[in-house]
Amino acid sequence: MNKKILCAAILSLHLLSASAQMRINLGGDSPLRKLQMAELAITNLYVDSVDEQKLVEDGIRGMLEKLDPHSSYSTPKEVKQMNEPLQGSFEGIGVQFNIVEDTLLVIQPVIGGPSEKVGILAGDRIVSVNDTAIAGVKMSRENIMKRLRGKKGTKVTLGIRRRGIDGTLTFKVTRDKIPVNTIDASYMIRPKIGYIRISSFGGKTHEEFMTAVDSLKMHGMRDLIVDLQDNGGGYLQAAVKIANEFLQRGDLIVYTQGLRVPRQEFKAEGNGRLRDGRVVILTNEYSASAAEILSGAIQDQDRGTIVGRRTFGKGLVQRPLDFPDGSMIRLTVAHYYTPAGRCIQKPYVKGEKKEYAEDIEKRFKHGELYSADSIHFDDSLRCYTLRRHRAVYGGGGIMPDRFVPLDTTQYTRFHRELAAKSYIINATLKYIDKQRKSLNKAYPDFRKYNDKYQVPQELIDNLISEAAKDNVKPRSDEELQQTLPMLRLQLKALLARDLWGMSQYFEIINQQNHIVLEAVNSLSEQAKDGIETP
């Protein structure tokens, strides 16, 4: 017992010595000194062992939780996962895949990627990686990804089962940089009207966007629909570059300002290649951040029309602060403002992240997503657009010029449950696996498929039968009949995605997207009325 007391006394002296040193370095009343002393005491005196790394991380998270909803801490692993889609690439074998009955099914190899180069085909099943079985062993998706990804230049041996061929084929793939595209789709939606859907704003988004623009112009595009539905944002600079393409020299795109961060303005350079022609931006309640920068610039400069529903309302700017171990703090340092001076950050209470996260649900309950009359703005937050002097409002997202209500009847309860529990995607994958060759032969090009293909009743029946085994059923024949039109359209779109790509998926599914259809009507009306762009 005496030895234990002596050890504790010696340790206390060490702590006091450390405290004295901190007082010298930090000053007697420094909050940082208090924090360091607390960490030092817990690490050295606490009755049980503690993970010092986790202790510090929890302390950082605790501090950030008391701030705004977007300041956050990320571990090195989380930072890497977060940056990959924004930086525009990762390193791996280059396949789009899904898991069907515990087996990895290749949907499409990335064009020009390492898997395509060695001959891996859509429909192949990857059953082993470096002699380790990954099929039929209930391996998690995360573990499969770890085995397939790796540094550029490293090799991996894949065991492949291919329909119509006995035995297992072996392919040695050299991993490489795999591009992550942020442009989901681009196509001519009507004569002279192009459509581009942006999923997020990353390091290569502007480059991808302009490649799509050039292609559409070759097909006669004059006017453009930019779809930002469900776009959660990304890099501010990416949104600025795209806005620059539409605006005149000197036009303000966005500015940022914070308590300790001086005002910084971003203006158009006048070299944009889309300064002529009409533009419509599509938004919904999940369009946020960089998507709101682009929408706000186009609206405030009276350059185009915003169609859809009020955006999320994220007007805070985060600065990444990197730690030596690869972890990172994203600290909010400023607000961003649209050209008319609107701060569109929705209200929040510091530390009340749960209430903030439930805002979209509150919009549902209050009827805002169904009626524009349910949306009320504070008159004190009114601003005016810069050319036509139309009233616009800050304080919570971008309100569209043409509101499109959410249609809750389009997807029935039965349809939503089929989708949520993966019956639709699984039925599609099984069907395409069996019918890929016959579909490719019957429909050698997408145009013929889009015009002629009808989803077979057999596919519908099998899907509904599989769901019924788990007691997922329509409540009535009326609900079933109401479900079938959109279900058939979705199945047709998913099959097109697996046969061609995402552009073809959206070309089909957009045939019943009310926001997209309203945008087409808007452009048609403007053309009929002879309305020119500013």
- Given the residues 72, 115, 200, 289, select the one marked as catalytic: 289
Spell 192-220 as b/e; 16+ CB within 10 A means b: ebbbbbbbbbbbbbbebbeebbeebeeee
Spell 460-496 as b/e; 16+ CB within 10 A means b: beebbeebeeeeeebeeeeebebbeebbbebbbbbbb
Q: Are 260 and 312 a contacting pair, CB within 8 Å?
A: no
Query: What is the distance between the alpha carbons of residues 429 and 8, in angstroms, rounded to a whole number?
Result: 65
Q: Are 88 and 203 a contacting pair, CB within 8 Å?
A: yes
**3-class secondary structure per residue, 198-255:** ECCECCCHHHHHHHHHHHHHHCCCCEEEEECCCCCCECHHHHHHHHHHHCCCCCEEEE
Q: Is 200 one of the catalytic residues?
A: no
Which amino acid makes up residue 164? G
Run of H or E including 360: helix 359-366
Which amino acid makes up residue 137? V
- Given the residues 314, 327, 498, 522, select the one marked as catalytic: 314
Q: Are 273 and 245 a contacting pair, CB within 8 Å?
A: yes
- C-alpha distance from residue 394 to each of 33, 303, 318, 408, 481 (Å): 41, 19, 20, 28, 43
Closest CA to 400 of 312, 485, 328: 312
Closest CA to 316 of 299, 300, 297, 293: 293
Q: Is 300 one of the catalytic residues?
A: yes
Query: What is the distance between the alpha carbons of residues 179 and 205, in angstroms, rounded to a whole number?
Result: 11
- C-alpha distance from residue 340 to each of 296, 383, 398 (Å): 9, 6, 12
Query: Which positions ≥6 away from 109 have C-beta within 8 Å?
Result: 94, 95, 96, 115, 116, 120, 121, 122
- Given the residues 184, 300, 401, 498, select the one marked as catalytic: 300
**3-class secondary structure per residue, 17-85:** HHHHHHHHHHCCCCHHHHHHHHHHHHHHHCCCCCCHHHHHHHHHHHHHHCCCCCCEEECHHHHHHHHHH
Q: Is 314 one of the catalytic residues?
A: yes
Coil, helix or strand for 159?
Answer: strand
For tokens 């985060």, what's the residue? 318
Structure tokens at 298: 């186009």
Query: What is the distance between the alpha carbons of residues 197 and 207, in angstroms, rounded to a whole number?
Result: 14
Instruction: Say if strands 223-227 and 193-198 run parallel, antiparallel, or are unpaired.
Output: parallel
Query: What is the distance between the alpha carbons of residues 492 and 434, in angstroms, rounded to a whole number?
Result: 15
End-to-end CA distance of the chain: 86
Closest CA to 107 of 502, 510, 528: 502
Q: Which residues does the annotation mark as catalytic?
A: 289, 300, 314
